[in-house]
Amino acid sequence: DIQMTQSPSSVSASVGDRVTITCRASQGISNSLAWFQQKPGKAPELLIYAASSLQSGVPSRFSGSGSETDFTLTISGLQPEDFATYYCEQTRSFPHSFGPGTKVDIK
Amino acid sequence: EVQLVESGGVVVQPGGSLRLSCASSGFTFGSYAMQWVRQAPGKGLEWVSLISWNGGDAFYADSVKGRFIISRDNRENTLYLQMNSLKVEDTALYYCAKERRGFYMEVWGKGTTVTVS
């Protein structure tokens, strides 16, 4: 099974900051990676799929990059509504698996 | 509008069984793979199971394999999760989700809560 890790586990940032979250797979997954945002009490929302493709309706300040084992999610110009927990997920092979999450909170 | 509405979550004793349902609307249900994901209280997301568009293929997390069965009724536009031999660690909010192509979960329901106690 493929294990996913994320770093950092939490980050404190200010509005307007650039935030980068890293996700690492235990083996190569090509570009079969998604990023989700989850706010408290809400279902997750898809931000990025296929490592770098922006889901329809998602602001362009979100971007993803990477391939095989190393991936990043970047938020360029953090907005108040971006304070949330972010998860990566590999869909390369079954069982699919999520990273443990990265919480972005207000500095 | 695409909608997914989960139901069936209750409090159940260890060793018990339960069936979750996920009613869909607003899209051609029979054209997409569907998935279940769960989230234990205060914890992260855990992928549970996926079923192909026609029900011909099903995949499971190791933690539920042999105990849970995913199924679908494309005439009724409904996804199911039969949960048997429930354990305390199965306690979670269970989400159903619709894929976009490539198994990426683009639409999620609000979830239904299962408590094993």
pLDDT at A63 over 90: yes
Per-residue pLDDT reduced to its tens digit, A3-54: 999 999 999 999 999 999 999 999 999 999 999 999 999 999 999 999 999 9
pLDDT of res. B101: 84
B108 closest CB neighbour out of A34, A44, A98: A44
What are the pLDDT digits (tens) for B47-56?
A: 999 999 999 9
Q: What is the pLDDT of residues B16-39, one digit of tens each?
A: 999 999 999 999 999 999 999 999
Cβ neighbour number for residue B11 with a 10 Å cutoff: 12
Taking the C-alpha atoms of residue A3 and residue A24, their distance in angstroms, rounded to an integer, is 8
Find residues 84-103 of chain A whose CB sits inside 8 Å of chain B: 85, 87, 89, 91, 94-101
- B20 is written with which tokens? 């979750």
Q: Where are the beta strands (DSSP E) in chain A?
A: 4-7, 10-13, 18-25, 33-38, 45-49, 53-54, 62-67, 70-76, 84-90, 97-98, 102-106
pLDDT of residue B117: 96
Peptide bond into B14 cis (omega under 30): no
The Cβ of residue A15 has, within 10 Å, a number of other Cβ atoms equal to: 12
Residue of A nearest to B61 (CA): A95
Mutation test of the interface with chain A: which of B49, B104, B107, B108, choosing the one with the most A Cβ atoms within 10 A? B104
Give A101's Cβ-side CA count (13 Å radius): 16
Whether B95 sits inside 8 A of A87 (CB atoms) is no
As beta bridge partners, residue B49 has: B36, B60
**Strand pairing of A102-106 and A10-13?**
parallel
